[in-house]
Amino acid sequence: MNGRTVLVTGGTGGIGTAIVRHLARQGHRVATNFRDPAKADAWGAAMTEEDLDVHIFQGDVSDLHSCEAMAREIETRLGPVEILVNNAGITRDAALHKMGHQQWLDVVNTNLNACFNVTRPVIEGMRSRQWGRIVQISSINGQKGQYGQANYAAAKAGMHGFTMSLAQENAKFGITVNTVSPGYVATDMVMAVPEEVREKIVAQIPMGRLGKPEEIAHAVAFLVGEDAAWITGANLAINGGHDMGW
């Protein structure tokens, strides 16, 4: 399976970039979104230097109208979205008794409501074409919770509820919908955590190390391929054994 049109939201981040690279190297036309033009320009230049078929579109995943416009522009330039990876996410950490309402809204809007905002404009086309792949990038903290992350954990847990319902609604249309829940991965966001805190996290991981963004990308590539056509509604936890719940 080559030459599909792919949208990876949040593609300029650590895990997002790895997913974009991997899918582009498989021969797909990969789109991602941006809100910061300067960052997008630098990122796009780096992708061009790697000779990857990657395209950047303005789009705010927390805004439905922006996502609808983005989907229309992608379809005009690259073709209808056939593979969607809902990867965009932010953190605004605080214990709930100190968390402001805006901190809650920002995280839920960007991490969870974005799944509706981005998927809604492309799902009908997938149904009419009788083929599609959708993957949510959730988190280990959506499975086990995390101190100071009630907003983030709730949003990430909600992503898999979205997956399971959407999988049931669309299985007969040749569309699979799955979740990938990474553990702690060596992205800029994680590496910005103080070293002593990172060491405590790594000490809890049976494999004794942080994950690599490329390891998440490989899993996503498998789930959007033809060989995974009978996998839908699943949550693939990739965390080095940090959490083994099922």
Q: Identify which of 8, 223, 242 has the alpha carbon closest to the alpha carbon of residue 143.
A: 242
Picking from 71, 51, 123, 87, the residue whose alpha carbon sits closest to that of residue 217 is: 87
**236 with 180: CB under 8 angstroms?**
yes
The first and second tokens of residue 15, run together, are 């895990």
Neighbouring CB atoms inside 10 A of 196's CB total 7
Shortest CA distance to 146 belongs to which of 136, 137, 135, 157? Answer: 157
225 in helix, strand or coil?
A: coil
The closest of 5, 39, 27, 156 to 87, measured between CA atoms, is 156
CA separation for the pair 32, 85 (Å, rounded): 10
Single out the catalytic residue among 152, 180, 185, 217: 152
Q: Is 152 a catalytic residue?
A: yes
**Could you count the other beta carbons within 10 Å of the beta carbon of residue 72?**
12
Residue positions annotated with a catalytic role: 152
